[in-house]
Amino acid sequence: MARGYGARILFWLILLWLSRAEPLFAHGDHGDAAPPEGGISLVAFDGFQVELLTSPRPPRVGEESKIIIKILRSGSLEPVRNGKVLIGVSPVRLLDHSGPQHNPLTHAADGTDSSSLYPAPEMVWAGSYTLVRQLDQRGPHRVRVALAEVDGRSFHPPALFEFYLNVAPASGLTPQLVFLLLTALAIGGVGIYWVAVRSHSPLDLSMPLNLLDVSWLDRFVRWKGFQPALQIPLLVLTLLITLLGLFDVQDGAKNLATKLTWVIWWPAIIFTFILVGRLWCVMCPFGTLNEWSARLFKPGRMFPKFLRNLWLATLFFVLLTWADEQLGIIRSPQMTAWLILLLAIVAVGTGILFQRRSFCRYLCPITGLQGLYSMVSPVELRMGDRSRCLKDCRQDCYRGNEKGEGCPMFEFPMTMERNTYCNFCFECVKSCPSSNLALRFRPLGKDLWAASKHWLDESYLAVVLVGLTTLVTAQMLASWSQWISTLSRLIPVSVRILMKPATYLSLTESALFFLGSLLIFPLIVILAAWLADRMAGENGKGVKRVFVTLGYMFIPVGLAMHLAHNLSHLLSEGPGAVPALRRAIILYTPFDAGNADWRVVPLVSSEVVYWLQMLLILAGMIFSIAVGYRLARPLFDRGEATGKALVPFIVLSLIATLINLYLLNQPMGMRHGI
């Protein structure tokens, strides 16, 4: 029996030795290199073995890596020396979406062409041809190898091979890891604090926590310096951005004005709407100028009644987006500065002529966008106990008193049921005599279905945002210019010959932009409303009411598209603001901020960005269907017709989702230089 156990042990030892020895026979002496993780690393070619090795294994972002091609003779595994080998390495997605391929034997002297091949000298170990590179992106990379001469034999054309390797994140405490660690600490700290507050709260634990019961937060929002502490730094920063835009280098890729405005602020602000509603309005420099000028001049007139809606704001937002696409505002520091000055002048002028924040409520180009998206926010400021308001309400929260100003956004807290126009200035909290305001968490998107009223201007804007974002995304495609060129042929030749190509192409693009966003997609939704009303039968409520009510189900679709679109800019192009900031500090301050290294590494790999975009788009469609169902049930009296009537709108939501999934899977260019 002992002999049997001994035989088994010997068998497994031999098998283990063979399994460990096989890679050695196959790969030869690697030194400090090792085969890469994933993919094929060894191929046979005309009596040779060509193997890909890396050092370190796996290569890491930001570190010097050796990409090694080891060539051995088949059978003897003898290293092949004095060969001529060229190697190139690039991220897979970049190569897959690139334009015409380069000659594999060309060498870019400046090293900027990531798809070119570079001579790889024989280094350290015999038969090991090594390319030393610092890789700036994580994720899958393709290694292209050209054998021009091996063992005295020349190959015309060179023998080409492709390998794949995975680049790991940078080691150590990277900014990404530090961010994750701080996020985890913040979540843990908030959790501990929340539990401590709830355990000492005299209120029913089944009721939502009123954050104003937290003493330090209540004192902070009642503090007279609450708003100035947020507003003044933003005003100073806006002034600096304006000066840099006017007088600094007119290169959008290097000027801090364009970087902070369009690469950081605009992509990031979309995320604040769904987290904290319109809190940005409190610190917005244009809103601040509007409110300060209104307090200074104390105008007696209200904004014209027929314009107290979102129609003007919607028009201004569409015009601003069009100007960006046609004039390239985001790439021009001076145009960015002039836009800031124009908005500042309009904000001050509105404050001189009309009461309170009329500019923020009715004219700001993004007031409608942030109002609709703020309805998704999980935070709300509402009255606490309605009976207390009804019993003794002097409307101080709206009119103001010695403790606080009246609501600058013309909202009456007792009847307010949506986040659309509440900017969390907390003036109502200061002025309410009975302290009957509550700041609470609530379900995401509750305003979309819980509000008792819906408005045509808001529903129309929700629909427009879907069409607008789709067109803006499509304009970034590599094939967009070809589509516009084809459409321009619809212009009669007799008219085209009177214009330059750039003119009629711009006219075609502009016509498609305005017609598509303002007319075509809204008409399609109106058609869906007509079908829904017909399918509802006796429970139909009319085309207008169906459009106005169910149009709100497109808010999650547009929001998801906006988030997906701007996520790429923020994560991929956002780090480009760092060298621009360093450059500005070096030029205009006595401080040393280090060298402005323009070799920017995205915060995450393109693969991570891609899947985040896909998840956002799909989540938007799911949320849209859920919101649509909640809106349709009371609209159609909860009858059996609800399901049938909702079908056209679900189909439109699906079509918008499919289109954007397709667009985001096409080759795109960056809008901002990095």
HEC profile for 327-365? HCHHHCHHHHHHHHHHHHHHHHHHHHHCCCCHHHHHHCC
Q: What pLDDT, on the 0 to 100 scale, is given for residue 107? A: 37
CA angle (410 as vertex; 373, 209 as ends), nearest 5? 60
Task: Classify residue 250 by its DSSP letter.
Answer: S
Mean pLDDT of 30-44: 62
| Torsion, CA 388, CA 392, CA 396, CA 399, rounded to 10 | 110
Rounded Cα–Cα distance for residues 359 and 90 (Å): 49
Rounded Cα–Cα distance for residues 328 and 333 (Å): 10
Cα 440–chain centre separation: 27
Rounded Cα–Cα distance for residues 220 and 223 (Å): 5
Going along the chain from its start, the domains and CATH numbers come out as 25-167 (2.60.40), 203-258+277-317+329-441 (no CATH), 456-664 (no CATH)
Rounded Cα–Cα distance for residues 329 and 336 (Å): 6
Lowest mean pLDDT among 16-25, 224-233, 439-448: 16-25
CA angle (164 as vertex; 161, 165 as ends), nearest 5? 140
Closest to 317 measured CA to CA, from 367, 276, 383: 367
Percent of the chain with pLDDT over 90: 41
Residue 244, pLDDT > 90, answer: yes
3-state secondary structure of 42: strand
Q: What pLDDT, on the 0 to 100 scale, is given for residue 95? A: 40
CB-based contact 160:167 (threshold 8 Å): no
Mean pLDDT of 405-433: 92
3-state secondary structure of 566: helix
Percent of the chain with pLDDT over 70: 85
Task: Summarize pLDDT for 598-633 with one digit per residue, the tens.
Answer: 766 677 777 788 888 999 999 999 999 999 999 998
Rounded Cα–Cα distance for residues 86 and 151 (Å): 15
Radius of gyration for the alpha carbons in the chain, expressed in angstroms and rounded: 31
CB-based contact 503:491 (threshold 8 Å): no
Q: Which residues pair with 90 in a beta bridge?
A: 142
Q: Phi/psi of residue 423, each to 5°?
A: -105, 15
Q: What pLDDT, on the 0 to 100 scale, is given for residue 44? A: 85
Q: What pLDDT, on the 0 to 100 scale, is given for residue 4? A: 54
CB-based contact 582:596 (threshold 8 Å): yes
Lowest mean pLDDT among 168-172, 174-178, 267-271, 454-458: 174-178
Task: Classify residue 477 by its DSSP letter.
Answer: B
Q: What pLDDT, on the 0 to 100 scale, is given for residue 99? A: 38
Per the structure block, which two tokens stand in for 527? Answer: 């058609």
Categorize the per-residue pLDDT at 64 as very low, low, confident or very high, splitting at 50, 70 and 90: confident
Q: What pLDDT, on the 0 to 100 scale, is given for residue 495? A: 85
Rounded Cα–Cα distance for residues 424 and 407 (Å): 10
Please confirm whether the linkage preceding 365 is cis (ω < 30° from 0).
Answer: no
Q: What pLDDT, on the 0 to 100 scale, is given for residue 94? A: 43
| Torsion, CA 214, CA 216, CA 221, CA 223, rounded to 10 | 150
Q: Which residues pair with 65 in a beta bridge?
A: 133
Categorize the per-residue pLDDT at 18 as very low, low, confident or very high, splitting at 50, 70 and 90: very low
Task: Classify residue 413 by its DSSP letter.
Answer: T
Task: Summarize pLDDT for 301-345 with one digit per residue, the tens.
Answer: 999 999 999 999 999 999 999 988 888 888 899 999 999 999 999
In 74-227, which ranges are E strands?
Answer: 84-91, 118-119, 128-134, 139-150, 153-167
Mean pLDDT of 527-556: 92
Closest to 422 measured CA to CA, from 436, 431, 412: 412
